Amino acid sequence: MTTEIDEQTRLGELYMATLIRAQWRLSMSVLGSATMMIGGLPLLFFFVPATRTLDVGPVPLPWLILGVLIYPAIWLAGHYYVRQSEQIEREFTELVARR
Amino acid sequence: MNTSLGITAIAAVCVMTLTIGALGFRLSRTTSDFYVASRMITPTWNASAIGGEYLSAASFLGVAGLVYALGADMLWLPVGYTVGYLVLLLLVAAPLRRSGAYTIPDFAEARLESVAIRRLCSVLVLGIGWLYLVPQFKGAGLALRAVSGAPMWVGNLVVVAVVLINVVGGGMRSITLVQAVQYWIKLTAISVPAFVLISWWMHHGQPIPQVASTPPGQQWSHPLSGFGGVEHPVYATYSMLLALCFGTMGLPHVLVRFYTNPDGPATRRTTSIVLALLGLFYLFPPLYGAFGRIYLPHLPAGTSPDSITLLLPTAVIPGVVGQLMSAMLAGGAFAALLSTASGLTICVAGVVDQDLVRGRLRRFTGNDARAVNGFRISAIAAITVPFGLSLAAGDLGLADAVGLAFAIAASTFCPLLVLGIWWRRLSTTGAGAGLVVGGTLASVAVLLTIFKQVHGGWAGALLTQPAAWTLPITFVVMAVVSLATPKRIPRGTARTMVRLHAPEILSANLGKQRR
């Protein structure tokens, strides 16, 4: 099978196209969620003015979100992606080895 | 104020940088050592090195300066710097590592099989690298002036000297170690004084920022209020965020650092550690902006907001404690810009060397010169031009100048990398057209901004934050022209795609055939 991929038989190309599509879909889903979560914040501040002025203790809400809470969320998104994409590659390698 | 503490801190950082660099001298003998440090570095070291290299004067001083000057909307700056690595991880990290490219021009040539595209990318790397180096020198000038009162050019010159000795002497093996250590120096230098400030604030009445709201409605602590005269704040926020998120992958000094990972999966794991390290660091800079508004509402005459981090401790806590904190921050700022300037210099020098110097040097010397000499000559060229520019540059803020470099990277290299990695139908003509159109539009906007030819209103907003329109235009141009020129799709595209995406176990044979 590895030689089929190397020599670009139609079967090899099909396998590669499937792998690339799976990785692309994963990337897009994580990117999409991140865009909605992070990219939605300015819109939230814009359309719901109360969120701009709300205070949590001595700290305004936007400062709490943008200054602290957003960073663990970014890391979690990255961590999730790393595990999922390794999973895709593991499955692909097993699939190819089985033949 | 007591100047000797601050100068000692800065000198200590410089000496330590040079000493650690010297340890790597003997290890860098061949050109490949110079570029990639032999690829024997673990993910944690690598992630620290990436963080160390990435956190520049803009992060250490510039973020606090802009938060101080313009308020809550600038909290997006560090968020964007971090999300940039998430986007890089999602879209390009592992495939780029698998491509085996040292630099973006290398990747472009391998993927598009065109020397012309390679040259185009080299010119862009040069432009982005220089634009990014200028604020590093400026930061050095600010730091040294804040602790000693020395004129700006002295700090510039110190940075140029240290970087040149390090890069020319040691190459990247030393730089990787230096960068990794620098991250932890920077984190310590910015967090310890921050904790002292926090506890001082807790024990002294917990005052909140009192900022006169002029004109009414423009609130410093509220987002999207247009504080500081920012027009169209919603557009400005989104365009800035877009430039930072999609520009990171196109910065010249980012890709080289990834090459020191052994394979694609290690690259991903490294990047996820980088996200944690950056998030940890960026908790602190906005605090200095906020404390600045509380304790130093009016800057002393002749100082720029970018030095708020350095001025704050002595303004809050009198005596030796404040001076020690100030010295620590000045040392950290120096560590920040030394590491970024080193990384950028290596990249720009590598590109100048490969595409400009080496051929010519060979012609002069009849092939006698060692390749390493070309690299050394290029390093000198790479750093002296932005040094000159930094002396000539006006009062553009540190983070603003860096933001413009991000905007150009996002408008050119981001579409090239994303389409090159994921889209089989990208043609050489399409890529070239996109780079020319995106590069020209973004550069014109950036030059107009730098030379103060931008006035208010929508035109001003669009030119000072160009990414929101230049990035989509480049994507469209690349895609449309590629679809119109299917005959110019590189012949080896399918094979390249296998190398970019197949797990290493499978593509081991293939990789060797191609190299």
> What is the rounded distance in angstroms from the CA atom of residue B205 to the CA atom of residue B131?
43
With CB atoms and an 8 Å threshold, state whether B89 touches A82.
Answer: yes
Question: In this predicted structure, what is the pLDDT of residue B226?
Answer: 76
Q: Cα–Cα distance between B178 and B435 in angstroms, integer?
A: 34
Chain B contact probe: residue of A11, A75, A81 with most B CBs at under 10 A:
A75
Domain boundaries, chain A: 2-98
Q: Chain A partners of B234 at a C-beta cutoff of 8 Å?
A: 42, 46
Q: Does A56 touch chain B (CB under 8 A)?
A: no
Kindly state whether residue B417 falls inside one of the protein's structural domains.
no
> What is the domain-level CATH number for residue B102?
1.10.4160
Distance, CA of B144 to CA of B121 (rounded, Å): 35
Contact A71 B87 (CB under 8 A): no
Decide if A81 and B276 are in contact by the 8 Å CB cutoff: no
Mean pLDDT along residues A34-50:
90
CB contact under 8 A, A63 and B269: no
Which value, to the nearest 10 degrees, does the dihedral of the CA atoms of residues B33, B38, B42, B44 take?
A: 20
Cα B69 versus chain centre, distance: 22
Number of alpha carbons in the 13 Å side-chain half-sphere of residue B107: 32
Q: How far apart are CA B418 and CA B225, in angstroms?
A: 35
Q: Tokens for B377, please give them.
A: 């000559």
Work out how many domains chain B is built from and give that number: 1
Residue-level pLDDT at B205: 78
Residue B503 forms part of a structural domain: no
Q: What is the pLDDT of residue B480?
A: 97
pLDDT recorded at residue B514: 42
Task: List chain B residues with pLDDT less than 70.
Answer: 1-2, 23-41, 170-175, 178, 212-217, 358-372, 393-395, 507-515
pLDDT given at position B365 = 57
pLDDT at A4: 63
Is B450 a domain residue? Answer: no
Amino acid B486: pLDDT: 93
Query: For residues B93 and B268, is the Cβ–Cβ distance under 8 A?
Result: yes
**B48 contact partners, CB below 8 Å, separation of at least 6:** B179, B180, B181, B183, B184, B277
pLDDT of residue B24: 60
- The residue range of the domain holding B299 is 3-392
The answer to whether position B510 is within a domain reads no
